[in-house]
Chains A and B, each alone.
Chain A
């Protein structure tokens, strides 16, 4: 049994070590350059991964794009978004927006898994080999990309996150109120689907079932009612703070600390007091 971690980012090797160790002693890494498209990445990975029983990657949009294609090419058993491991062939994963936890057994080898690092202990080992992908040509062509990475930490790895919902009204207000507190905390900014849909926040900040899954030490939700879809993305946070003027908002049922207040008063006040 041998594991290979597909690394899309330099930090993947560190944050993925724990899951690889849970699978076994020996694990290697193959690094995927940032500009490789899914079809050429998956085709290149078939060769690179042929000697491995487990082909794994940290869950992300990019890893799902490529690893599921790889699973189709290799006829592999695939588990998405593993949050637990009972054995190298039995995993737990959330389904139905995280309202149910499924235990899934893989029935053939190789096994392809995308996993959420927050579900596993921090690893201490380093990979044996670090391979480079030999990418083939892609049938598709990238015409352009807009990478909106600012100075703030990455949402999926941030220790502190401040998120806002639709009550933030517009881009400038959202940035001022939510961004202001996030910067004070040295944290990342997140948003609800409603905020993204209404153009207040960019898509890559969406937290929830179909957006980013986060697990920070501190998650501050401002003007967020707490839909099932949003909760699916935040429930592994260590401490959830909800600030909402509606005392009946469902988010108060899951928050560690709830404050019924107008976010336009409370969030700047909080920023000024920490």
Chain B
């Protein structure tokens, strides 16, 4: 079984970032970057499938500037077999990403695309579903458990009201939610081994243009300062005065 895992380079999700004063972008000076946490969960899940079945082959792919190689190397260190970097400085949106990934899928013919449900920078939650649509593949988003069957996958997915279990024929696309797994700590031998794993660079395959454009970025208005109360009684009075009770 061949698995393709797209990974995105994102601003460290634990870093505090602010928009530039002119609103044209983010002030990323001194900010670290990392693999999108949901994509890391996808890589981890693919590697666990490979550990259960050595016949699994994992390709990771990233689209963006040459620095994305860092995130691809991390995915290789977790245990992916090879990496593809679609090197571009173009401004991308989910639609462009889905189109580029569609091309990679047609090139590599994976049985499964496993990717994060959303990126923690733009919080869009679109690219996976758009890619599945373009491929005409069934999808299971928000996955919290993935089990292999014969020619199919059984995916437990989180829903607005609980959970559901879907059976999807291969090929299919699965997007990962938080509780699918906990990515492993990457030990030094893995990092060293990752340096010698194949990483291919290629150009964009399509000339598709973005369908959305970020006009400006601002900090949201801060909430007005609140106050501390000393007791539950004081809290009840304060809430009644506010009309909240």
Chain A residues proximal to chain B, CB less than 8 Å: 37-39, 42, 60-62, 64-66, 68-73, 75-81, 90, 94-108, 138-149, 193, 196-197, 202-204, 209-210, 217-218, 228, 235, 238-241, 252, 254-261, 266, 269-270, 273-274
Name which residue of chain B comes closest to A146, CB basis: B162
List residues of chain B with CB within 8 A of the CB of A142: 164-166
Rounded to whole Å, the gap between the CB of A149 and the closest CB of chain B is 5
Q: Determine if A69 and B161 form an interchain contact, defined as CB atoms under 8 angstroms apart.
A: no
List residues of chain B with CB within 8 A of the CB of A70: 133
Q: Determine if A256 and B226 form an interchain contact, defined as CB atoms under 8 angstroms apart.
A: yes
Also in contact, A241 and B162, with CB within 8 A (given A94-B123, A94-B220, A97-B13): no
Q: Is B144 interfacial (CB 8 A cutoff)?
A: yes
Q: Is B129 interfacial (CB 8 A cutoff)?
A: yes
Inter-chain contact total with CB atoms closer than 8 Å: 252
* Cross-interface CB contact of B131 among A60, A72, A218, A259, cutoff 8 Å: A72
Q: Is B107 interfacial (CB 8 A cutoff)?
A: no
Q: Determine if B142 and A65 form an interchain contact, defined as CB atoms under 8 angstroms apart.
A: yes
Q: Determine if A96 and B17 form an interchain contact, defined as CB atoms under 8 angstroms apart.
A: yes
Q: Determine if A69 and B244 form an interchain contact, defined as CB atoms under 8 angstroms apart.
A: no
Q: Is B32 interfacial (CB 8 A cutoff)?
A: no
Residues from 208 to 245 in B contacting A, C-beta threshold 8 Å: 209-220, 223-224, 226-233, 235-236, 238-239, 242, 244-245
Interface string of B120-150 (1 = CB under 8 A from A): 1111111111111110011111101000000
Q: Is B183 interfacial (CB 8 A cutoff)?
A: no
- With A99-B220, A239-B242 given, can you name 15 additional A-B contacts, CB distance below 8 Å? A61-B158, A62-B159, A73-B133, A96-B11, A96-B122, A103-B217, A107-B212, A147-B161, A204-B158, A204-B162, A210-B118, A218-B239, A228-B16, A257-B235, A259-B228
Also in contact, A95 and B138, with CB within 8 A (given A139-B168, A204-B158): no
**Which bucket holds chain B's interface residue count?**
35 or more
List residues of chain B with CB within 8 A of the CB of A71: 95, 126, 129-130, 133
Residues from 66 to 123 in B contacting A, C-beta threshold 8 Å: 94-95, 98, 117-118, 120-123
Q: Determine if A144 and B164 form an interchain contact, defined as CB atoms under 8 angstroms apart.
A: yes
Name which residue of chain A comes closest to B175, CB basis: A65
Q: Is B19 interfacial (CB 8 A cutoff)?
A: yes
List residues of chain B with CB within 8 A of the CB of A103: 214-218
List residues of chain B with CB within 8 A of the CB of A78: 94-95, 124, 126, 130, 211-212
Q: Determine if A209 and B163 form an interchain contact, defined as CB atoms under 8 angstroms apart.
A: no
* Cross-interface CB contact of B226 among A42, A65, A81, A254, cutoff 8 Å: A254
Name which residue of chain A comes closest to B216, CB basis: A103
What is the bound-complex CA distance between A108 and B236, given in angstroms? 51
* Cross-interface CB contact of A100 among B217, B238, B245, cutoff 8 Å: B217
Q: Determine if A95 and B161 form an interchain contact, defined as CB atoms under 8 angstroms apart.
A: no
List residues of chain A with CB within 8 A of the CB of B236: 270, 273-274
Rounded to whole Å, the gap between the CB of B119 and the closest CB of chain A is 10
Q: Is B167 interfacial (CB 8 A cutoff)?
A: yes
List residues of chain A with CB within 8 A of the CB of B132: 39, 69, 72
What is the bound-complex CA distance between A158 and B66, given in angstroms? 46
Q: Determine if A140 and B226 form an interchain contact, defined as CB atoms under 8 angstroms apart.
A: no
List residues of chain A with CB within 8 A of the CB of B1: none
Also in contact, A80 and B125, with CB within 8 A (given A241-B235, A273-B232): yes
List residues of chain B with CB within 8 A of the CB of A210: 117-118, 177-178
